[in-house]
Amino acid sequence: MVNHLSLLVTFNDGTQGKVTIAPQWLTGVFAELQQYGTFKTVFVEHGAVTWENGLDLDPKSMYDAITAHGSYKIQ
């Protein structure tokens, strides 16, 4: 975790990039991640960025954006 709503990820092939989540995207089930205490529970499970509350991010979308642009911005 870089800071609240930002992560630095590394894939198995060594590809690295920054993932940034825009606060306005955090609605519905993802609204819980607005809370720093919830966001910082992030971990990797089966290759996906995951939180203790069961939310996760699609690793393929993340990988594709990072290999193309060096970062993945969720807006």
pLDDT tens digits, one per residue of 19-50 = 999 999 999 999 999 999 999 999 999 999 99
CA separation for the pair 9, 66 (Å, rounded): 9
Give the residue-averaged pLDDT of 52-61.
95
Are 65 and 72 spatial neighbours (Cβ–Cβ below 8 Å)? yes
Looking at this protein, which amino acid is placed at residue 41? T
What is the pTM assigned to this prediction? 0.87
